[in-house]
Structure 1
Amino acid sequence: MASRSINNILRISPRFLRSAQLERDFRDPEALGGYVLTHDTRANLSRLLKGTRSVSGQRSWRVTGDFGSGKSSFALLLANLLSPSSSDLPKHLRGLPVEMGLTRSRRGFLPVLVTGSRQQMSMALLSALSNSLHQNIDGRKKLKVRMAVDETLAAPKSNLDHRVIALLMQASTELRQHDLFDGVLVIIDELGKFLEYSALNPEKQDVYFLQQLGEASSRSGENCLFTIGLLHQGFSTYADKLTEQAQREWEKVAERFEEIVFAQPLSQVASLLSAALNVKEDEFPRGWKSEAHTDMRVAVDLGLFGANAGKSALVELAPSLYPLHPTVLPVLAKFFRRFGQNERSLFSFLLSSEPHALQDFAQNEATLRFIYRLPEFYDFIAQNFGGRLSAQSFRSHWSHIDAVIRSFPAERELELRILKTIGVLNTIDSTADLLPSDDLLALALGNSESLKTAVARLKKENLLFFRGARRGYALWSHTSVNLEHEFAKASESIQQISNMGELLRARLDARPVVARAHYIRTGNLRHFTIRFCSTDEISADPAIFQPEYPADGMIVIVLSETEEQRKRAQKQIAGMPASPQVLFGVTDALEVLNGFILSLERWNHVERHTPELKDDRFAAEEVSRQIAHANQALENALHRYVGFRGLSQDEQSSIHWFYNSMPVKDLDRDGSLQCYLSELCDSLFPKAPHVHNELVNRNTLSSAAAAARQRLFELMLNHGDDPHLGLPHDKAPPEKSLYLSVLKESGIHAERAHGWSIEFPEKDPLRLRLALEHVIKMLEVRPDARIRVDRIIEELRRPPFGVRDGLIPILLVAIYVQHEAELAIYEDGRFVSDVEEFLKMRLVKAPQTFEFQLCRIHGMRRELLSHLAEVVKLERAERTELLSIVRPICLMVAELPDYAKNTDNLSPQTITLRKHVLAAEEPAVLVFRAIPEALGFQGDVSKSEASKLASKLAQSLSELRRALPECRKRMTETVLEAFGETGADFSAWRRSVAERAETVIVGVTNPELRAFTLKLIDDATEEPVWLEALGSLVTRVPPSRWRDKDETAFQEGVLGLVRQFQRVESLHFGEGSRAPENAVRIALTQKTGEERDQVFYLNSSQVKDAIDLRKRLHSQMPADKKLAVAALSQLLWEMMDSSS
């Protein structure tokens, strides 16, 4: 006989091929075909139907069961039972109404069937009521309730919850009065979806509506309103992410509904499976029936099906579960109950074509060699549940189990099947009923000697570990930490988060948001800082929410934890004064994040308070994975509820936005916020420059860009009248880029009728003129007043200009160059007469130390300036500009040598003038008050006095210029007088004394005298330089830096040096001397031994005078020569006295 596949033996029942859907299947007569009515189902129906009695109050129910446990099919059966047409039930169920005690005279209930979704529950229920009224009642029947429902549906009102309850009660009453129905049956499948929506959006759907519905049902009396809700899990689970107070409110709602726990015993699940597989029993593989009976008997004896399992029934049923081995069903059920959707996943496993599922396995030959055992189920788990199990590995150690099995050699087939079997049992954390024991291994894989040998070999290789009779085999070597138990303990310790706001702030992305479109349009990179705050903070002082430099705006997001806080925050923002640079956002109630934070905090608690983790590497790794997973889950939730960056096209932000106290719509999708911020920047900064150069149009410049800007300053100050500021045409230094993109492109530096110049542009393509003119207006507001530069910078930073810091100094230099004649600059409170590039560097670094002042002159003062202009020799165009007068005067005085700044050898008027100019702080005060007072003019200078003032000023300035030359002239007189050459020509004297000094220099060892003699020898150096050097030699200070006391010291010092020189000179007179022929040495000695000697050098004129004098003296001499010589010697002694 040809071989058959397992598929040929299976006859899958159609009813198990899809899940039930209430609204769709209610009118399908085949929907309940093949429905298996179990003992538990009968009991649950009987309990529910008691509520249909007129005196009953048991009319609000919740049916709770795992995914796929058959709740929807059960609800479908109930709806059909209570409908007027229960005779349409499948044949095997038609006797059920009588069996359940339902009378034949009943009119049934109007079925209002709703399947849950994430929307407003009251609206969905209203829509279902409308559909049912139209579908089940003749449209010709005049019903007030139908009209009222349609009207409410067309125009929902704010009190919709209360209105829907009232309409349900009205429908029940009116239908009973018209003998149409006994009442209304409301069945809400997937109620959890509505609860999830309510938890996430409490402001749109209050869960109190469900409480109202339950109470209305319980009190409906004769006008029966019967309500059933189907849930996958308990009420509290849907509220676990809410606050503790909200959870208590949900518990009150749950108490209004009596509960039926919908769970099928394992024996009944086996019956369902048997019915679903519908195996052709006459085509079983030879030997299967006896093997199935035997193995099922052993399985029941081992406790795999529980302590109270019906052994005989299960043994009888075992062959019909083909090709599933009896050990597989208990593991299937437990696995899907724990990790899947219970029976739904169970039947999906049986009937779908997923890899390694039953249908995939059924392609094999129908022989005893191909029986679906636990190793095959492991392959199914790894293929289809691996990712999910990895995320919840703390419940199953899946990560370690999977790693061990994946790394095991495939050719060792039996050992691998053993590891897979133990891995499945370890995954479901099997206890006494599914303990991984030798007996269970023998049953699952076949009892053979090779099995025992393989187990022993795995144990020896430290791949399989026996943990004792109570715990069985495992794929790890030690007593593992029970992480589920530890997490439960952590849940008891941490039941509520008290500081949610602080925890969230540390995780939220506070990076600034850039207005990209505005940047592309204008070249200005603007950003808004992000600030997260609580409702209390914004209520305390909203004025603190202002952007700080360098931010152009601020986004304030209020983290409202509850709905009440959200409403309070929105009310507070609506009452704030307008703040154009601040955008407010208010989150939805963040209590929905409570569960995510709790999960993370609990896992952190497990890590901190479980010391056993240090000895359990696998558990410790699992805790780390769970913390990472909880972190990611919280991040994803934050992105959903607080995030506004990187939203996908289908995602929406749940932040409510406000600008200037008004709500802003359509900012809940990705990109819309940035577009809005760009539009906001366009309106905030309409006068901003449009400079597309990232080197300079930014707040913080790179060192290279700053250096290039500094070089540009120097070019603007010194080469403004040169084409392209003198920049080379064949090279491209960094400053050229700045010049081209700012000065040339804007037209600030351009060739005009009078040549190249720096001026405010006419066409203004880069919109710089607005900022330039605003600075001038600031200076014009208060004439002659100083404006701090940092205030000007701050003004240009703010709306409507928003100029970047890198660009502002260039604009200030452009303003200075154009208004140089009337713009005064002060540094540290003192007027700066010479503006150079390094001053601009200091201005950039410390603008708070600089001030600007606009000096404009009118009236009589212009006449005075015109006369003063003659003094400083200005061009006619500049003669009425105050700073054109002040700067030359201040520069001239500032450039004077120190001697001229300090000497008192000047007229009193000149000394006073010098004092005022050096101390000048205000140009106008200097010119119109200080200078006139110094020169002897009181009050305002009249027109007639202007020329006199100018003349006196010129004299005083001239006297200051001559101060040092006059000092040098006095030095020459002092030197000549010391040498006894008063009145001699200084240049001729220097030449003659140089010859004498050459004779003296030989043998001079005294350092001072030698230096002095060398200086006398130097007759080639120019006179001013020679005098500077001589002054420095004598006083240790150059004459240009002298004070008056230094000049006195020079006079005394030169006299002493000259005397030393003369004494040495007399010693070198005589034979071998290089003295000139007309040199004379006179030496006198007293009887005391005191001597006086001196060498005299006479020039040609002096020789002639000496001859004339000799003749006159000779005529007066007595005849006694001895007497004459004695008289002359006494006269010479007196004349040679050093003190004379």
Structure 2
Amino acid sequence: MTLSNNYSIATRHQRSTRIDSDLSKDFFPGLVYHGTAQTALETLLRQYAQTGQRSYTLTGPYGSGKSTIALLLTGLLHHEASLRNAALDVINSQSKKLLKDSIVYDKGWLQIRSVGGLSSPVKTFWNATLAALKEHHKTNTLYEKYCTLSIHTESELVNIWEALFEEAHELVDGVLLLADEMGKSLEYINKSRGELHLFQDIAEVLGRTKTPVIFMGLLHQSFSEYAKERGSKLQEEWNKIQGRYNDIIYNVSTDETVALIGQSIQNESGERCTDDHYVNAVLEAMNDKQERKKLLKERLDRCIPLHPTSALLLGPISKRRFSQNERSTFSFLNSHEQNSFQLFLKTAVEKSDRYNLVDLWDYLEVNLEHAIISSPDGHAWATATEAIRQARQKGLPDIATEILKTIALITLFGKPANLTATEELLLASTDVDTRESLTEYLNMLKDKSCIIYRKHLSSWMVFEGSDLDIPSLIEEKVEQIKDVQEAITHAKFQSQVIAKGHYHTTGTLRWAEQNLVTNLEELEKWPSSSSSEGAFISFYLVLDDSEQLKKASQKNDRIVLARANDAEEIIALAKECYALDLIKSDEKIGRILTHDKVAQKEYEGRLINAELALNNAILYSFESSTWCYRGEEYSHESLSHVTTLAADHIFDHSPEIKNELVNRNKLSGTAVSALKKLLEAMLKFEEKEDLGINGFPPEKSMYISCLKNTSIHDAKAKDKRYWHTENLDPKLSELFIKSLELLEDSSGKEVKLSEIAELWAAQPYGLTKGVIPIFLLAFLKSQGSNIAYYEKDMSGSFAFIAQPDLDYVHKLIKNQDELAVKYIVLEKSEREWLQHLAVFASNETNKQITTDILSVATPLVTTIHNLPQWVKNAHELVPEDATKNKIYLRIRDLFLQANDPHTLLIKDLHSELNLEGVSTLTQQIDILSDCFSVLRQKHERMLGGIKDKVKVIFPEAGEELVDMCRFVEENAGDLRLKAFARELAKSNTGLLQWLESMIQIVVGRGKQNWNEGILRTADNKISDYAQDFLSVVKSQRLQNNENSEVTKTKLVSLVLEGEDGKLTSYKKEVRVAEVEKIQPVLNAIEAKLNDLNEFEKVHVLQKLLKKTLEAQV
């Protein structure tokens, strides 16, 4: 069984008190009526009785118990006897007598209990008034009278109260008016830029009404502190108004906190310890008055199982800046955090176990160190933690480290409780058994420079191991910062606000950025928000008292302005953050800081908490300020709502596209992949239902959201018009109409797709980068043949492409500036010319061609581009007709160089064919037809000529030629001759591919590298290979003793002496010719030679033979 079975925390101490809901007779038993509570109550009673003062404020730290005292006063004046008696049992006889002498009680008081909040104090006061009238049994008739009233203004509330209190005079003893969380009401008034007329009027009205009235407002600070950022003048006015109220200070002492702790810990067994040895030991070690010790003994006995030193230090700890007074004490008692008191109760089993200072240190270190470091206690805490780290690092025993933690806590927080780390107190506060052991451990710690002994205090303290005073350095650097904007700029605050309402309506996620500026002049230095990517507007929190915000917001619909409510706090925190950065960047200090672990920890803690506090202050100011947009003020609306208003205004023509995957500016990898697949489907399968996308992959959802639900795509269209940009949602229709107008205005000129994308991304459409490619392709396809497509080539110029391909649609996603289109509009004469070209194209392709630029140009350009490379480069298309050759060359080059179908067909081609003597379109088409015929047949004619020559050289056919080729392939030593024979064997197939292969073999060039010169060389080269071929065949046959008749060739040889005296041999294997065929030529030559002498005859014949034969050296 653990201690949690014996001890628990009283329910009333588990949360803060609410005066509007916690009043009951069960509330008062166990309430501690300590000295601070008695002083506050009796001060009010005396002031009321002696001076007639009716307006009070009770000022004390957060969680100090002010609401509890307010409820005690409520119970003392309540009309219900059981409640009043329960409250009377709490106070002592002295207070009871003063209450009886000071305040008349007979019928009970009407009790208006209001709790301030984020709404108007007028509203909360009136609702509390109605609740009070309904609660008191004698004011039901007044409730019926006033419950239907609607109160809106401060003056209405005060006037109604005055009348109501007069009417209640005979029904109640008086009116108790409590304003809990009055500070929140003041914050509301300050945020609304209001004045304190309400509380000024309350003080005046309460002073003159004949009905007894007591007003008590509960505050954490003075009136003026709530208006500190609005200037000293207003603070003075608010101070004057608070002067009408008597302020009672409420601050619970350390010993009273011990009493509260003892009252909150309940011993379930009912046993009460009256002689705890831990308490006795601590009290014995304390150097204090006996009266205090006697009072503390009873209270500390009630705090078991808290160790008495822990109970004594909880009060001072709760009053530190990082804490929340008594409320933090009770939060600690109820906490289930690591090393907490509740976890101790669940794990401790011995009745003698106590939650000591070591446990308390561990709790603070784990759960509150970040807050302590940034507080005034940060330096001392950092020093202590570094000392503990050093002790562990140097191998000291655990008990020594525990003693060090005890010394550290007493050093930090013991002074208000009159505790010092004497050896007597350390012996009473730790698990060390003897004085000798304690001395040994203390010497260990001292030798390792973890602690130091202060003789004048007779106590031990943590050794100061740091050379840097971080708080003083911060103050010094802050003083050096003269330019506030420099500190604000260094803060680099940036946050975003989502236009949630706009997102739910349109499906498009838009956001605003949040920025700080010191004044409106600084605003001009900021770049304007971009609507295409990132934030589309900016919220600017201005840190001065400029009165021009509303006017300035009218000039630019991309900014929202507000005056910061807590400008002074933001500036102070920004300076502190900047000062901390300056400290680290200081060469000397930064070097010391690097090696000083204590200062380093303190510095890091201060920096983290200063940045956090600055961020929280800025965010709070953003949420609580009154914003101006387009001249209108928004004080109660959220930032998201204002952002939505701006988005709806700026992008009022944004179409509804609800798809989170694609309707955004930055797509995920999955979304990009799906988008590519959707664009490919739009390109290939427009005639299929759902673009042929099966199942439900990501691209299917994109299709449904962007194309199907919007009616842009219809696969069932009877006229095969699958894409529609008309008769859609009005916002979508306008988007496409404006885009078409852009193209029409630039008719005949290239328009980059990035220009259309920029139009769509800008106000008032605001399309995102994800959906723009989808709508772009759909829009272009809807225009059909009215659009010509262009893409940048290697030179960076736009070149015409027949149709979008996969590369084109992929570039729609990220490279829209590399794509362009041209809108085409034809005149009547141009349409007529296009019709003739369409007929010509139909004849050329044997297909039906529609009468539009692209449909006509595509097959004609394709035909020319598909010509063999040498034909596209040839200079002699029609060698026999120089004029025609020149025209055909120009026509061919027009198609080859064309990058614009409109310019090619309508302008350039028509102009080229408009020759002298050619007056009709039909005549022009005839010239074009003849040109295409010549170009198309050029390659075949070239092959035919070479084929005829081969047949002359090799008249053999069928198996005979194949056997010859096989023989050469098997016996030739030249690899190229073998290949020549192999291709020659294919000459009987009827196809011409063997000729192209043969040409490639003899010239040693691929087909793509042919030109007219190479083909002329090929003619001669074939003769060379044929000679080698025939020589191989003849040599073999001679070896087989076959006669020349069988071989059908004879060797012709000519040997000539050159001018240098050297002999040159010319020889050739020639086919045996038929005598009958050559006899007429022979006779003619002989007739010519008869007129010459013998030498001349020989010379002529030698020249002819030399020219005919190839030189064979």
Q: TM-score, normalised by structure 1?
A: 0.62
Closer/same/farther in 2, CA of residues 77 and 1068 from structure 1, 3 Å limit: closer
Instruction: Report the Cα distance in structure 2 between the residues aligned to 1:1116 and 1:293, rounded to whole angstroms.
Output: 155
Amino acid at match of 1:589: N
Instruction: Report the Cα distance in structure 1 between the residues aligned to 2:1050 and 2:261, rounded to whole angstroms.
Output: 151
Q: Where does 1:768-847 land on structure 2 (aligned, <5 Å)?
A: 784=748, 786-794=750-758, 799=765, 804-805=771-772, 807-808=774-775, 811=778, 814-815=781-782, 819=784, 823-827=787-791, 828-833=797-802, 837-838=806-807, 846-847=815-816
Closer/same/farther in 2, CA of residues 189 and 376 from structure 1, 3 Å limit: farther
Aligned residue number for residue 950 of structure 1: 925
**Aligned partner (choices 431, 437, 449) of residue 422 of structure 2:** 437
Instruction: Report the Cα distance in structure 2 between the residues aligned to 1:468 and 1:225, rounded to whole angstroms.
Output: 59
1:913 aligns with 2:888: no
Quick check: 1:747–1:764 contact (8 Å CA) kept in 2? Answer: no
**Aligned partner (choices 472, 494, 510) of residue 528 of structure 1:** 510
How far has the Cα of 1:97 moved from its partner?
Answer: 7.7
Rg (Cα) greater in structure: 1
Quick check: 1:890–1:917 contact (8 Å CA) kept in 2? Answer: yes
1:117 aligns with 2:116: yes
Closer/same/farther in 2, CA of residues 457 and 1112 from structure 1, 3 Å limit: closer
Aligned residue number for residue 541 of structure 2: 560
Quick check: 2:223–2:238 contact (8 Å CA) kept in 1? Answer: yes
Instruction: Report the Cα distance in structure 2 between the residues aligned to 1:743 and 1:991, rounded to whole angstroms.
Output: 69
How far has the Cα of 1:531 moved from its partner?
Answer: 1.6
1:479 aligns with 2:479: no
Q: Where does 1:49-64 land on structure 2 (aligned, <5 Å)?
A: none
Instruction: Report the Cα distance in structure 1 between the residues aligned to 2:33 and 2:690, rounded to whole angstroms.
Output: 96
Instruction: Report the Cα distance in structure 1 between the residues aligned to 2:743 and 2:982, rounded to whole angstroms.
Output: 61
Instruction: Report the Cα distance in structure 2 between the residues aligned to 1:246 and 1:458, rounded to whole angstroms.
Output: 60
Instruction: Report the Cα distance in structure 1 between the residues aligned to 2:596 and 2:1064, rounded to whole angstroms.
Output: 116
Q: Percent identity?
A: 14
Closer/same/farther in 2, CA of residues 830 and 1102 from structure 1, 3 Å limit: farther
Unaligned runs of 5+ in 1: 1-14, 82-87, 141-145, 278-282, 520-524, 643-652, 973-983
Quick check: 1:556–1:585 contact (8 Å CA) kept in 2? Answer: no
**Aligned partner (choices 515, 518, 529) of residue 545 of structure 1:** 529
Amino acid at match of 1:1105: I
Instruction: Report the Cα distance in structure 2 between the residues aligned to 1:437 and 1:33, rounded to whole angstroms.
Output: 35
Aligned residue number for residue 650 of structure 1: none
Aligned residue number for residue 7 of structure 2: none
1:1105 aligns with 2:1078: yes
Aligned residue number for residue 10 of structure 1: none
Instruction: Report the Cα distance in structure 1 between the residues aligned to 2:57 and 2:1049, rounded to whole angstroms.
Output: 148
Instruction: Report the Cα distance in structure 1 between the residues aligned to 2:1084 and 2:96, rounded to whole angstroms.
Output: 179
How far has the Cα of 1:135 moved from its partner?
Answer: 12
Q: Name the Cα RMSD after superposition.
A: 8.1
Instruction: Report the Cα distance in structure 1 between the residues aligned to 2:280 and 2:204, rounded to whole angstroms.
Output: 56
Q: Where does 1:800-949 land on structure 2 (aligned, <5 Å)?
A: 804-805=771-772, 807-808=774-775, 811=778, 814-815=781-782, 819=784, 823-827=787-791, 828-833=797-802, 837-838=806-807, 846-855=815-824, 859=828, 861-874=830-843, 878=849, 880-901=851-872, 902-904=874-876, 905=879, 907=884, 908-937=886-915, 945-949=920-924
Quick check: 2:316–2:416 contact (8 Å CA) kept in 1? Answer: no
Quick check: 1:117–1:194 contact (8 Å CA) kept in 2? Answer: yes
Aligned residue number for residue 202 of structure 1: 190
Closer/same/farther in 2, CA of residues 933 and 1107 from structure 1, 3 Å limit: closer
- Secondary structure of residue in 2 paired with 1:530: strand
Closer/same/farther in 2, CA of residues 493 and 206 from structure 1, 3 Å limit: farther
Instruction: Report the Cα distance in structure 1 between the residues aligned to 2:1086 and 2:824, rounded to whole angstroms.
Output: 76
Instruction: Report the Cα distance in structure 2 between the residues aligned to 1:810 and 1:397, rounded to whole angstroms.
Output: 66
How far has the Cα of 1:452 moved from its partner?
Answer: 0.8
Deviations 1:767-788 (A, max 9, x none): 9996997677765676655443
Closer/same/farther in 2, CA of residues 712 and 630 from structure 1, 3 Å limit: same
Aligned residue number for residue 522 of structure 1: none
Q: Where does 1:409-420 land on structure 2 (aligned, <5 Å)?
A: none
Closer/same/farther in 2, CA of residues 334 and 296 from structure 1, 3 Å limit: closer
Quick check: 1:583–1:657 contact (8 Å CA) kept in 2? Answer: no
Q: Where does 1:132-147 land on structure 2 (aligned, <5 Å)?
A: none
Aligned residue number for residue 339 of structure 1: 318
- Secondary structure of residue in 2 paired with 1:914: helix
Quick check: 2:655–2:731 contact (8 Å CA) kept in 1? Answer: no
Aligned residue number for residue 6 of structure 2: none
Deviations 1:609-647 (A, max 9, x none): 6998777756754664565455555555566554xxxxx
Q: Where does 1:1012-1027 land on structure 2 (aligned, <5 Å)?
A: none
Aligned residue number for residue 591 of structure 1: 567
Q: Where does 1:1027-1066 land on structure 2 (aligned, <5 Å)?
A: none
- Secondary structure of residue in 1 paired with 2:541: coil
Quick check: 2:787–2:823 contact (8 Å CA) kept in 1? Answer: yes
Quick check: 2:628–2:634 contact (8 Å CA) kept in 1? Answer: yes
Instruction: Report the Cα distance in structure 2 between the residues aligned to 1:879 and 1:292, rounded to whole angstroms.
Output: 107
How far has the Cα of 1:558 moved from its partner?
Answer: 1.7
How far has the Cα of 1:953 moved from its partner?
Answer: 1.8
- Secondary structure of residue in 1 paired with 2:415: coil
1:459 aligns with 2:442: yes
Unaligned runs of 5+ in 2: 1-11, 78-86, 266-270, 792-796
**Aligned partner (choices 922, 935, 951) of residue 987 of structure 1:** 951
Aligned residue number for residue 975 of structure 1: none
Deviations 1:813-862 (A, max 9, x none): 8558xx35x54323344433476555555666644343334546574555
Instruction: Report the Cα distance in structure 1 between the residues aligned to 2:1018 and 2:186, rounded to whole angstroms.
Output: 103
Quick check: 2:561–2:628 contact (8 Å CA) kept in 1? Answer: yes
Closer/same/farther in 2, CA of residues 1023 and 1093 from structure 1, 3 Å limit: farther
How far has the Cα of 1:1099 moved from its partner?
Answer: 4.3
Closer/same/farther in 2, CA of residues 1102 and 537 from structure 1, 3 Å limit: farther
Quick check: 2:34–2:256 contact (8 Å CA) kept in 1? Answer: no
Quick check: 1:797–1:804 contact (8 Å CA) kept in 2? Answer: no
How far has the Cα of 1:878 moved from its partner?
Answer: 2.8
- Secondary structure of residue in 2 paired with 1:896: coil
- Secondary structure of residue in 1 paired with 2:116: coil
Deviations 1:654-677 (A, max 9, x none): 47788887778996499x899999
Instruction: Report the Cα distance in structure 2 between the residues aligned to 1:846 and 1:39, rounded to whole angstroms.
Output: 76
Quick check: 1:235–1:250 contact (8 Å CA) kept in 2? Answer: no
Instruction: Report the Cα distance in structure 2 between the residues aligned to 1:41 and 1:295, rounded to whole angstroms.
Output: 31
Q: TM-score, normalised by structure 2?
A: 0.64
Q: Which moved more, 1:986-995 or 1:903-912?
A: 986-995
Instruction: Report the Cα distance in structure 2 between the residues aligned to 1:466 and 1:343, rounded to whole angstroms.
Output: 31
Closer/same/farther in 2, CA of residues 616 and 1046 from structure 1, 3 Å limit: closer
- Secondary structure of residue in 2 paired with 1:506: coil
How far has the Cα of 1:77 moved from its partner?
Answer: 8.8
Q: Give the number of aligned pairs.
A: 1018
**Aligned partner (choices 469, 472, 478) of residue 454 of structure 2:** 469
How far has the Cα of 1:437 moved from its partner?
Answer: 1.0
Q: Where does 1:290-305 land on structure 2 (aligned, <5 Å)?
A: 303=287, 305=288
Quick check: 2:282–2:308 contact (8 Å CA) kept in 1? Answer: no
Instruction: Report the Cα distance in structure 2 between the residues aligned to 1:275 and 1:1110, rounded to whole angstroms.
Output: 151
Amino acid at match of 2:855: S
Closer/same/farther in 2, CA of residues 950 and 48 from structure 1, 3 Å limit: same
